[in-house]
Structure 1
Amino acid sequence: MAKKRLTWVDVTKGFLMILVVIGHYPGELDFPLSKYIYWFHMPAFFLISGLFFKEAKSRTEAGESILKRFMQLIVPYLFFLLVITVIRYGMELGYGNTDIHWYLNDLWSLVIGGRFVRGAYGVFWFVTTLFAVFVIFTAITRHLSRKVQIAVMAGFYLAAHAESLFAKYALSGGTVEAAQQIPLPWNLDVALMAAVYFGIGYYLKEFWMEISKKWFVAGIVTVAACLLLDATGVFDYRLSMKFLRYDHLFLDLIIPISCTIVLIGLFQRLTARIPLTWLQKIENHSISVMYLHIFADIVLNDFFTYGLIGFTAIGLVLPILVSIGLQKFVPYGKLLLGGFRPKKKRQAAVAGD
């Protein structure tokens, strides 16, 4: 059972990574595909991460757990931030940009991170937010009872919506411009909403590990109904965690969770019959795909013309090749890709041995 569960998790995350790439396609499509992808793909990542969270039972264990996540999340973050920035600045110098103020302002935006960096860094906010959520859960599960934890999650959810309303009605500009007027680094405020989705995965672990037929069908019906209502203009639902867009107090739970039920339920059933190892392979290189798919397009789109399929292929294949190269030819390449594994402590010898 454990092996089967691991298979569907990897396959689901591999598929979600494809959706991440597609969601950043800069061209126009006749069908609002990106809009529907954003309904659920980032909440689903946080939710699945919550499935595998383990409580720390002591201060030492908590510290070790946080260090492990730092090495797995922030070290690759810093590595790819450095690599992309060095290449970008080399390109800028090649184009004749010698304005020192431009470089200083750009560096400052990279330090702040989160929603303040765009373009090649468009996905970096997710990693810092996930790390913040992990630290939050390490703290609250150690010190608070389960009922208080749930109350904290409810408070987070309401606070996230309050911040979204503030950005929408009290600040000027559109969704992106308004969110960028809240100067919190690393998108740490997005952890309010992300923690809720993470918690839904963590607290309802048994439910997610095997989606029943009843819930799978209910999820399909709910998603189909929401798609129909959106397509016919009854509502115009949008979700953007990065830019604090949470427009519906109830739909922000119903739609992402229903979509995730369908996605996980589908792949649980498919992987019981079909290996889908190609999706597992994408997941194996997901760190590189996440960080490099936008940058690969930025580098190549001046030389080639391609549509959605070409964009997606480039955003998957080139980062996977980079990932393979790092692991095979670069010292500590696996570490730079989040492959940190702490050394297991040797058990104390039994008296008399």
Structure 2
Amino acid sequence: MMLPYFIYGIAIFLIFNFDNLSMFKEHLISLIYGGSSLQGPYGIFWFITVLLLTQLLFGIISMFNRGIQIVVIGLLFVLGHWSYIIAFDWPWNANVVMIALTYYSLGYYLKPLIKKYYDSLIVTLVSLLLIIITIYLNETGYLNFYLNLKMSSYNNVMLDLIIPLLFFMPIIYISNFITKFPIKEILKVIGRYSIVIMYLHLPVNIFFRNVLGYDVTVFEFTAFGVLIPVIFGYLFSLTKTTRLLFLSAK
């Protein structure tokens, strides 16, 4: 997981700074430290380190009985909202793991419910109704909800738990519904190269905007950010070396 992190991080730097490599050492240090300090074309890199730490921590916690697991995860979730924790610029965005661990673990703990209700239209519609109500309350000022994991921006323990869960079943229902149509084959290809899309969608569009001077629209941002990385992903898949370096695959 970390090999592509550094490969993409270095490659992106070289592409955007090929005429001035004097900052390479500082950039490498920034990559090693990671976290929210990585901006611009590296804006998504925080996700990889948070995911890795979350998986490792959940693996350790899962060795204990279910009761201890829930207590530890719950305590970390609450502690992660503490202003003293949020204020510090943690390496690898490690503080975000305290929050992300809850969302990650819920996917594991709620697996039986997901299997039971993944195709329930009623559950999906109820969730969508609650989502609409929540958005309305937030837009009209009755709620003050915001959640940005990368920037450690969250302010309400209960809402940070409840509101993301509202999106759980609609996303699963829609994903399952899409599998009934031929478009699923296109989405399979996109999914196969999702790691490339994740790393390159920002650099590709920044390249168009800053280097080529082309101001992309929202549609073009999405199209360029998916299609071009998929092409690169296919090319990377052709040899064992590039599969390992860029796709983290054998």
Compute the TM-score of the two structures, normalised by the length of structure 2: 0.90
Structure 1 149/323 Cα, relative in aligned 2: closer, same or farther at 3 Å? same
Match of 1:245 among 150, 153, 156: 153
Q: Counterpart in 2 of 1:63?
A: none
- Deviation string for 1:95-119 (max 9, x for gaps)? xxx7x4x444333222211111111
d(CA) in 2 for partners of 1:254 and 1:219? Answer: 11
Uncovered stretches (5+) of structure 2, i.e. residues with no partner: none
Q: Counterpart in 2 of 1:265?
A: 173
Q: Counterpart in 1 of 2:17?
A: 89
Structure 1 residue ranges (4+ consecutive) displaced by more than 6 angstroms after TM superposition: none
Q: Counterpart in 1 of 2:132?
A: 224
- The alpha-carbon deviation at position 206 of structure 1 amounts to 1.6
Q: Counterpart in 2 of 1:292?
A: 200
Match of 1:160 among 80, 87, 101: 80
d(CA) in 2 for partners of 1:161 and 1:336? Answer: 36
- Deviation string for 1:189-234 (max 9, x for gaps)? 1111111000000111122234234422221111111121123232
Structure 1 322/274 Cα, relative in aligned 2: closer, same or farther at 3 Å? closer
Q: Counterpart in 2 of 1:201?
A: 107
Identity %: 27
d(CA) in 1 for partners of 2:235 and 2:5? Answer: 18
Q: Counterpart in 2 of 1:235?
A: 143
RMSD after superposition: 2.0
d(CA) in 2 for partners of 1:196 and 1:111? Answer: 25
Match of 1:308 among 218, 226, 231: 218
Contact kept, 8 Å, 1:75 with 1:338, in 2: the verdict is no
d(CA) in 2 for partners of 1:271 and 1:106? Answer: 42
- The alpha-carbon deviation at position 308 of structure 1 amounts to 0.7
Contact kept, 8 Å, 1:160 with 1:193, in 2: the verdict is yes
Q: Counterpart in 2 of 1:332?
A: 241
Considering only CA atoms, is the larger Rg found in Structure 1 or Structure 2? 1
d(CA) in 2 for partners of 1:338 and 1:133? Answer: 20
Q: Answer 1 or 2: higher relative contact order, Cα 8 Å, separation at least 6.
A: 1
d(CA) in 1 for partners of 2:68 and 2:105? Answer: 13
- The alpha-carbon deviation at position 277 of structure 1 amounts to 2.1
- The residue type paired with residue 84 of structure 1 is I
d(CA) in 2 for partners of 1:314 and 1:273? Answer: 24
- The alpha-carbon deviation at position 251 of structure 1 amounts to 1.3
Contact kept, 8 Å, 1:133 with 1:194, in 2: the verdict is yes
Map 1:97-176; keep pairs closer than 5 Å: 100=22, 102-142=23-63, 144-162=64-82, 165-166=83-84
- Deviation string for 1:120-142 (max 9, x for gaps)? 11011111111111111211112
d(CA) in 2 for partners of 1:216 and 1:183? Answer: 38
Contact kept, 8 Å, 2:196 with 2:229, in 1: the verdict is yes
Match of 1:283 among 191, 211, 231: 191
Uncovered stretches (5+) of structure 1, i.e. residues with no partner: 1-72, 168-178, 342-353
d(CA) in 2 for partners of 1:339 and 1:105? Answer: 25
Contact kept, 8 Å, 2:10 with 2:28, in 1: the verdict is no
Compute the TM-score of the two structures, normalised by the length of structure 1: 0.65
